[in-house]
């Protein structure tokens, strides 16, 4: 599973921050690793240098094999908290998506002869 880290110009996108976010996101999404091809984390500061509470936005996009991208967004006061919250939301989205796919196989996923 590939991981891409993106920031806007108002967020310090140092390697240390990228490594921390990647580690947090990979840890939270580890049980889906075989089903995902790529994860992208987009960090931005909604009001730039002005500061303020919950102004860091993290959008995480997951790309399932053979499926449409899924995403989750969270806001927090710092990068780590925003990434953690967005990853937690994405776990819920992926649970819902993969659970539904497991319960209702697509027509091209034929059932073996003799049943299940």
Write down the mean pLDDT value for the chain: 85
Residue among 83, 91, 86 nearest 73 (CA): 86
- Return the pLDDT at 33: 93
- Return the pLDDT at 13: 63
Left if phi > 0, otherwise alpha if psi is -120 to 50, otherwise beta: which for 52? left
Show the low-confidence residues of the chain (pLDDT under 50): 110-111, 115-116
pLDDT digits (tens, 9 = 90+) for 31-58: 999 999 999 999 998 876 666 677 899 9
What is the value of pTM for the model shown? Answer: 0.80
- Return the pLDDT at 96: 92
Q: What is the DSSP string of 12-79?
A: ---HHHHHHHHHHHHHHTGGGGGGEEEEEEEEEETTGGG--TT-EEEEEEEEETTS--EEEEEEESSH
101: its two tokens: 């796919």
Sheet containing strand 36-45, strands side by side: 2-7, 36-45, 56-64, 70-76
- Return the pLDDT at 89: 97
CA distances from residue 52 to 14, 58, 76 in whole angstroms, order as listed:
21, 16, 10
- Return the pLDDT at 8: 83
65: its two tokens: 């094999």
């Amino acid at each position: 599973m590939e991981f891409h880290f993106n920031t806007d110009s108002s967020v310090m996108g140092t390697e240390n921050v990228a490594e921390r976010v990647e580690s947090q996101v990979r840890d939270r999404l580890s049980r889906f690793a075989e089903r995902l091809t790529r994860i992208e984390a987009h960090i931005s500061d909604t009001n730039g240098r002005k500061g303020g509470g919950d102004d860091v936005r993290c959008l995480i996009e997951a790309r399932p094999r053979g499926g449409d991208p899924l995403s989750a967004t969270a806001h927090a006061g710092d990068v780590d908290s925003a990434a953690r919250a967005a990853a937690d939301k994405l776990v819920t989205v992926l649970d819902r998506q993969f659970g539904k796919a497991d319960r209702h196989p697509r027509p091209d996923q034929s059932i073996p002869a003799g049943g299940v």
